[in-house]
Amino acid sequence: MSDICIPNIGPRERRRRLILGIAMFGIVGLVAALLVFADAPRAWRLFALFPAWVGSIGVLQAREKT
């Protein structure tokens, strides 16, 4: 089996997804720090997982060109 990758998004969309992913990681860091310093209950800290998931998907899509 060959490891040929045919990109289905262009460079402009890859850059857009990469920027979105990095921005979401920044938001996660800020939200997580605020929740820790505010001594929020641990259950509230789980809300930081959604932007982290969105950020990781964006970065992976940009990296894999999909």
Q: Could you identify the residue written with the tokens 């262009």?
A: 10
Can you tell me the distance from the alpha carbon of 44 to that of 41, in angstroms, rounded to the nearest whole number? 6
Confidence of residue 1 (pLDDT cuts 50, 70, 90): low
pLDDT tens by residue, 47-65: 889 989 999 999 999 988 8
Give the start-to-end residue ranges of the domains of the chain: 27-66
pTM (two decimals): 0.78
pLDDT tens by residue, 2-31: 577 677 788 899 999 999 999 999 999 999
CA torsion 51-54-57-58 (nearest 10°) is -100
Nearest to 27 by CA among 2, 66, 53: 53
